[in-house]
Amino acid sequence: MDRIALIAGSLYGFSGIILGAFGAHALKSSLSLDALASFTTGTRYQIYHALLLLALGILIRQSGKASKWLSFSVWGTILGTLLFSGSIYLLTLAEAKGIGFVTPLGGLLMILAWGSMTLHFILNKAE
């Protein structure tokens, strides 16, 4: 599980920086201010959750195993970020209006991932 979190976090960080630069430079003149702000929100949340995945991966690696709460947090973060940021990219770049319902679903998964990590810390005392 640590390897999955670390690889996903690295890939999200890598692609988030590329997409952020793309948005700031290449899309600046072709998107409306609202669309550019949405795109920036997608990249910002992608980077935040890349860092979360890296932290989860390191935590799991140091503890030697993932609790069910940390496992859910990893998978919730991976899927939630993909749905949240990915749908924002599609909405702004491809004007894919029919997928707007996906964004809050991704956000909900990210919220649940943070909550799951919180439960791990509450239920697992340091030894």
Amino acid at 12: Y
pTM of the model: 0.92
Q: Which residue has the tokens 């609790």?
A: 67
* Burial classification of residue 30, based on how many CB atoms lie within 10 Å of its CB (0-12 exposed, 13-18 middle, 19 or more buried): exposed
CA atoms of 32 and 47, how far apart (whole Å): 23
Confidence label for 35 from pLDDT (cuts 50, 70 and 90): confident
Minimum mean pLDDT range among 43-52, 69-78, 92-101: 92-101
Query: What is each CA distance from 45 to 57, 66, 79, in whole angstroms?
Result: 18, 24, 13
Residue 47: pLDDT over 70:
yes
Task: Kindly give, in sequence order, each residue whose CB lies less than 8 Å from that of residue 23, ignoring residues fewer than 6 positions away.
Answer: 31, 36, 39, 40, 43
CA atoms of 85 and 124, how far apart (whole Å): 31
Q: Which residue has the tokens 């929100």?
A: 41
Upper half-sphere CA count for residue 73 (Cβ side, 13 Å)? 26
